[in-house]
Amino acid sequence: MKRPERYIFPAMFIYEPGQEIAVVFPDLDCATSGVNDEDALLSARELLGITLLGMEEDGEEIPVPTPLNQLTVKDNERAALVDVYMPSIRMANVTKSVNRTVSLPAWLNAAALERNMNFSQILQDALKERLNVSQPGRA
């Protein structure tokens, strides 16, 4: 069976004075937090992705999300939909290497070979720096 590309689940954002914003996914029994709305949303997306990926990998049934209008919220809570694009989450956890063909000027290739440079490592390091990532799935 084809796995969904995108999941959308409701989350409760809970605001308490002097505390981080708590984010709870009532359908998934998991929670996270953030120092502000943006951080809380990013943390919620990351948690949603890894939680659902784990459920997929374990063969667990993904629950049907509760409709947003069926959630009861208190004065210090806000309900919001959080989505996650699963192909990028799934691929972030694939650490096998893939071959890429690159083109270089002959003089640059010769200079690098003369210095015994590891082309693969240099390309990986440059891509990580340019993308501002340090490990799979982390921005």
Residues 66 and 20 in one domain: yes
| Full domain range(s) for residue 124 | 97-131
Grade residue 120 by pLDDT with cuts at 50, 70 and 90: confident
In a domain, 65, yes or no: yes
Grade residue 139 by pLDDT with cuts at 50, 70 and 90: very low
Residues 101 and 85 in one domain: no
CATH code (residue 26): 3.30.160.250
Grade residue 138 by pLDDT with cuts at 50, 70 and 90: very low
Residues 62 and 122 in one domain: no
Q: Look up the pTM and report it.
A: 0.67
Grade residue 100 by pLDDT with cuts at 50, 70 and 90: confident
Tally the C-alpha atoms within 13 A of residue 75's C-alpha that lie toward its C-beta: 1
| Domain count of the fold of the chain | 2
Residue 37: pLDDT above 60? yes
Residues 50 and 88 in one domain: yes
Residues 26 and 72 in one domain: yes
Grade residue 89 by pLDDT with cuts at 50, 70 and 90: confident
The reported pLDDT for the residue numbered 94 is 66
In a domain, 53, yes or no: yes
